[in-house]
Structure 1
């Protein structure tokens, strides 16, 4: 009986434990379904705020749509809550299916936006960042195996599709800011259309601004449309000035608002990053002359992708913040409720690529109606928006697709890689320009990325592993053969990161040039970049070394150099992963300098120029245009007293100022050896081509003492390079 009694007590205890499991948290504490822990008090406070968002009243409707339809287009303005709430609802939908079809990913176009949104959503979901909610941006990932909602940039999601073409890890994909029409977002939307056909269980949600939703709906005819009504915009005041006057008009109006004494922060939309920096410097000077009784005015610069820009300072009732911004920055204000005044110049500067010239030109043009409407709503229903353009101005309805204005070489390489992965069809919202596509295919062919049938070659597959410009990848791969990979890794990182040279304040230009002169290398600007990076790394190891202080002293951007350091580490890891050799550094030796130039020419043989008259007028062989070297180059105005090199390789050419940038001296003999023969044959006729042809004929006939009149005698360095380069072209071709 004793044994029977013990069994009875054990069963009773078990029943009591089961009852506790059922009722312990049911009445008092609600469990978070994402981590199984009780919700905190902060969760409920944030929940009340979330319920006031315009998008919240559409929750039930959205969840119903999500159950029955594969694709939903949601149009809503800034401050509607679409970027924070809808991804959470998608995560709840995937949770209800026990993640049988995957978790949720949400793409953004700005890396800072990715981080800010992930932090906010983790707070709202009452989970830890990096666990249930995470983010992935270039050079940084904060995720784990527990992550059910991941925010990432659109280019990161594209790279993910290379290893997971059908995105089988995800059950829900949210494409945010589709109205910005970036190349990566447009490619994603095109690929996802085919993925949906192969994965009926996948859900795709596209978030856009109201005026831009029409183009998406026309393209995706079977998609459902959910329109979130925005609160009424505040007072809108139009101007009658011209585009050229808008910059100073915006600054004068900013100071007038401050003198008026009305409370509230100001958002000023200018044409470009350069205008933002210039406006900040002007306002700082003007504020210093203003009466202290007006209160403090603090300019804050907000520019996408620029590490030199200051982050927003905390809201302070005793000062007025002026947020200086440019295009593609409207979404930065999604969590700023303090803005009561918006000043919109109505123009933007952007670079448009010309495939015939293989160069970009800066274009000043009006913003889209989509952008204008978003800006009007930033000040809320009680604020004011000053549009510095006439009300009758006809703005284009949508943001021009970047697909039609960009160099498509990297995009075509990616799409060729996706063909290998089985996603060959791309139905773009806006079809790419045929001329741009042909130029991209021709360039990939020159770089040996395509085989004779136009498919991706083995070299092309390796090149697609890098998120770099294909020309830079080819140069990097060639450096592994020429034993200068360490130096080329630095050059690639420095040219991929934002410029490390900051614009000096007025009155400090001469001092900045004197500081930069200490890094200049006689071989050219590519070598100068290695000098800057090596010095930065060398001083980094010194005790009590302050990176920020050192950079400040030399007018360099510390954030840009740190970004370059991170990019270099990532590129090094890729080379190791694909088992390519990385040589020991030998920068400064003659042999190393020759090897670096050969590696650069392996990728940038299409960007060669010759000084035709000895005065700095460089004739570009590919397009027969004449340009000058940028003044900040080591071969700029200061170098002309010492003489300019006849033949140079340049990294970039801009039609806007007709300048070539990042220039390095090369010998024509090296170019002839490194450039593919069929590229050389396709060069348009010119005197420069005749000189190169003579060199090529001389090499074939065993050499000749005769040379064209315009060809200078070889220097000792060139002679040495010719001796060391007597073998055939590199195998990497």
Structure 2
């Protein structure tokens, strides 16, 4: 399809621009660009290229460009009408990522202003009528049916499909049928556990059966742990993934078996309590069908659920279940560019929308009219969550950019800490404990990154070995390093100051805490008992520190901090707060906007803060309970030294 679109643009001599084709997965964008360049017999990066987060392989000669959907959205910030392109191809529209849905909504508005722009949407049959009607009964081309593989269904229940899947992998390998295996699991934790079990089992196999190589493919970490060509020829690979999409495996010709557990774990955001809940649910019919197609007519697909299982018709759109605060920030930026409202296929929940606007208001990203403020415009320049973008801006004020940009990169990349299996948990946590910083998890992440950079002078193989020895993810740390470089480049482009390293000094520690509070004051909790239960001030829920926190690798419950700032709150079997650092209540009072503090629900914890505030004798900042549009200057002295002065709050 993109070939035809390129030929169409050629036929009109590219007077309206070239072709861009979006993908939901960064690795797919790269692989498709390489494959198409090969088929067209051109050099990659010239006529055919790709742009994905942290990697660009395009030139002024590029006619056909593959990119991720989120990257095309960011490109619209400087080119809102996509005037570089004559054709936009939206691939995998049925994945319903937030970025894809926003693109589909904005393209409808763009076409009103650019009627010459051609939009091509590639999707599965069950979504075609919905999309065709959304675009005013657009023409519909339906391709012929794909080959039907052999499908084997389970006759039992799905109670222990994880162990059943691993047993099936070993049975296939013992049968010595040719071909690699793709195993779809429910979560990253299951991938880690399965990888460890299969490695242990593979070590005990007789050499005559051949080598069994588990390959962990964690969503968001690129291609995973691919093996070399020499090993590929003499081994059977088992690709372990929890991807909601089958896209990363299209074009992998060696796959002859698919094992589908039929379940997935999704993060569903609860706007009222600002928390992600982990929901286990069955996959959709379209997902099941797409996974079967991976093996073609010659392979086998093992579905570990009965044939009569009623699967939902489609996967819910991510925009209905995600935190849409970053999306609202982006759409506010598009308002400035002159684009009309986004015509969503599935409209976001009003409660989520109101919560997003409230959060942006607290972060001073909006002005009195509800439009983006100057701070909001700068925040939108960073490919970060709004709270983290505000934290990075505040670090410029507090002269700790070097450290905060590291924290931002480490928290934006996938977790660098490999999830331990139950058997290896004590040993793995002991390794992670070597990086522990007494001030908390945010500072521990800086320690990990600094250790990684110190060892980076060695060869790649020795650096990977160092990561293995410390149970750290090499791809995640590589990505964090690349994200950090990108954020530093953006800071320099915006002419914002980048401080010199000062990690470890008392003043630097205090400034990092201030910067974190500038963005994450809404995520503040107090310990209320000796068992380590924390009371979250914004919504009065109880939570525990996540077991992987550095506070729990060596310390006992009684030494846990009383007041903490956290990065994320997740509802699961045990409600947990993730990435936790100690912050004094006096500093919270100093940094939290007045109108946020007074809107906190009544509680014992709030009474304690109010008592501290009254005892301090500070005069509240003379601002209304709306917002301050300026990046206020925070005093660098301790709270005690400023009792006679007006408190200045970074808003």
TM-score by length of structure 1 reads 0.83
2:332 maps to 416
Residue 390 of structure 1 is matched in structure 2 by 306
Task: Indicate whether 1:696 and 2:613 are aligned.
Answer: yes
The equivalent residue for 1:269 is 184
**Corresponding position: 1:625 with 2:536:** no
Structure 1 residues 202-213: aligned runs within 5 Å: 202-213=117-128
Q: Equivalences for 1:470-481 in 2 at 5 Å?
A: 470-481=386-397
Preserved contact between residue 565 and residue 581 of structure 2 (Cα < 8 Å): yes
The residue aligned with 2:55 is 140
Report how far residue 731 of structure 1 moved.
6.3
Q: Is the 8 A contact 1:246 1:345 kept in 2?
A: yes
Q: Report if the CA contact (8 A) 1:485-1:583 is conserved.
A: yes
Q: Aligned partners of 1:511 and 1:386: how far apart in 2?
A: 35
CA shift digits 1:431-467 (9 cap, x unpaired):
1011100110000000000111111111111111011
Q: Which position in structure 2 is the counterpart of 1:652?
A: 568
Name the structure 1 match of 2:385. 469
Matched residue count = 633
Instruction: Write the deviation string for residues 548-586 of structure 1: whole angstroms up to 9, x where unpaired.
Output: 232222222222222111111111111111121222111
Asked if structure 1 preserves the Cα contact closer than 8 Å seen for 2:535 and 2:542, the reply is: yes
Q: Distance in 1 between the 2:129 and 2:171 partners?
A: 39
Structure 2 distance, partners of 1:169, 1:702, is 54
CA drift of 1:410 comes to 0.3
Q: 2:246 aligns with which of 330, 347, 350?
A: 330
Deviation at 1:268, TM superposition (A): 1.9
Aligned to 2:631: none
For 1:363, the equivalent position in structure 2 comes to: 279
Contact 2:565–2:583 under 8 Å retained in 1: yes
CA distance in 2, matches of 1:583, 1:133: 40
> Bigger shift: 237-246 or 423-432?
237-246
Select between 188-197 and 511-520 the one with higher mean Cα deviation.
511-520
In 2, Cα distance between equivalents of 1:119 and 1:637:
44
The alignment partner of 1:328 has SS state of coil
Which of 193, 213, 216 does residue 131 from structure 2 map onto? 216
1:245-394 correspondence runs (5 A): 245-306=160-221, 309-311=224-226, 314=229, 318-394=234-310
Q: 1:235 to 1:537 in 2, by over 3 A?
A: closer
What does 1:150-161 correspond to in 2, within 5 Å? 150-161=65-76
**Cα 1:258–1:610 shift into 2, 3 Å:** same
Distance 1:290 1:102, change over 3 A: same
Q: Which has the larger radius of gyration?
A: 1
1:673 maps to what in 2?
590
Q: CA deviation at 1:504?
A: 4.4
Comparing 549-558 with 189-198, greater Cα deviation is found at 549-558
Say whether residues 1:228 and 2:143 are aligned partners: yes
What is the deviation of 1:188?
0.3
Q: 2:214 touches 2:239 (CA, 8 Å); kept in 1?
A: yes
Residue 523 of structure 2 is matched in structure 1 by 607
Label 1:229 to 1:732 Cα distance change in 2 as closer, same or farther (>3 A).
same
Structure 1 stretches of 4+ with a deviation exceeding 4 A read 312-318, 504-508, 541-545, 724-732
The separation in 1 between residues aligned to 2:540 and 2:164, in whole angstroms, is 41
Q: Deviations over 1:4-33 (max 9, x none)?
A: xxxxxxxxxxxxxxxxxxxxxxxxxxxxxx
On the 8 A contact 1:670/1:725 being kept in 2, the answer is: no
Deviation of the 1:605 alpha carbon: 0.3
For the 8 Å contact 2:245–2:287, the answer to whether it is kept is: no
1:351-382 CA deviation, whole Å, 9 max, x = no partner? 11111110101111111111111122222123
Change (3 A) 1:522 1:301: closer
Give 1:150 shift.
Answer: 0.8
1:162 aligns with 2:77: yes
Is 236-245 or 634-643 further displaced after alignment? 634-643
In structure 2, the residue matched to 1:174 is: 89
Q: In structure 2, the residue corresponding to 1:227 is in which secondary structure?
A: coil
Structure 2 residue corresponding to 1:684, chosen from 582, 593, 601: 601
Q: CA RMSD in A?
A: 2.2
Q: Which one of 476, 495, 503 corresponds to residue 579 of structure 1?
A: 495
Does structure 2 conserve the Cα–Cα contact (< 8 Å) formed by 1:307 and 1:560?
no
SS of the residue 2:548 aligns to? coil
**CA distance in structure 2 between the aligned counterparts of 1:217 and 1:695, rounded to whole angstroms:** 60
Q: 2:355 aligns with which of 421, 439, 460?
A: 439
Cross-structure match for 1:496: 412
Which ranges in structure 2 are unaligned for 5 or more consecutive residues? 621-635
Alignment of 1:16-55 (within 5 A): none
Relative to 1, partners in 2 of residues 1:348 and 1:551: Cα closer, same or farther, differing over 3 Å? same
Aligned to 1:106: 21
**What is the DSSP-based 3-state SS (H/G/I as helix, E as strand, rest coil) of the residue aligned with 1:397?**
coil
Is 1:212–1:397's contact at 8 Å kept on the other side of the alignment?
Answer: no
Distance between the aligned counterparts of 1:88 and 1:329, measured in 2?
Answer: 24
Closer/same/farther in 2, CA of residues 369 and 544 from structure 1, 3 Å limit: closer
Separation in structure 2 between the aligned mates of residue 668 and residue 320 of structure 1, nearest angstrom:
56
Summarize deviations over 1:619-674 as a string: whole Å, max 9, x none.
00011011111122122263226622111101111111311111111111111111
Between the aligned partners of 1:308 and 1:102, the Cα distance in structure 2 is 31
Checking the alignment, whether the CA contact within 8 Å between 1:350 and 1:364 is kept in structure 2 is yes
Tell me if the contact between 1:401 and 1:430 (Cα under 8 Å) persists in the aligned partners. Answer: yes
Q: Deviations over 1:98-142 (max 9, x none)?
A: 110001111101111111111111111111111111111111111
CA contact (8 A) 1:415 1:424 kept: no
Residues 371 and 701 of structure 1, relative CA distance in 2, 3 Å threshold: closer
Tell me the equivalent position of 1:563.
Answer: 479
Q: Is the 8 A contact 1:219 1:429 kept in 2?
A: yes
CA distance, structure 2, for counterparts of residue 534 and residue 435 of structure 1: 41
1:228-285 C-alpha deviation (Å, 9 max, x unpaired): 1123312222223333321112222222222333333322222122222222222222
> Is contact 1:304-1:329 (8 Å) kept?
no
Shift of 1:542: 6.9
In 2, Cα distance between equivalents of 1:292 and 1:544 = 29
Distance change >3 Å, CA 452–CA 91, structure 1 → 2: same
Structure 2 distance, partners of 1:316, 1:541, is 29
Q: Is the 8 A contact 2:616 2:640 kept in 1?
A: no
State whether structure 2 residue 455 is matched by structure 1 residue 539: yes
Distance in 2 between residues matched to 1:478 and 1:326, nearest whole Å: 36
Which deviates more, 251-260 or 148-157? 251-260
Write the distance in 1 (CA, Å) between the matches of 2:439 and 2:223.
Answer: 29
- Residues 303 and 329, structure 1, Cα contact 8 Å, conserved in 2: no
CA deviations on 1:377-405 (whole Å, 9 max, x unpaired) are: 22212322222212222211112100001
Contact 1:477–1:732 (Cα < 8 Å) also in 2: no
Seen in structure 2, the aligned counterparts of structure 1 residues 203 and 342 have a Cα distance that, compared at 3 Å, is same
Unaligned runs of 5+ in 1: 1-85, 704-718
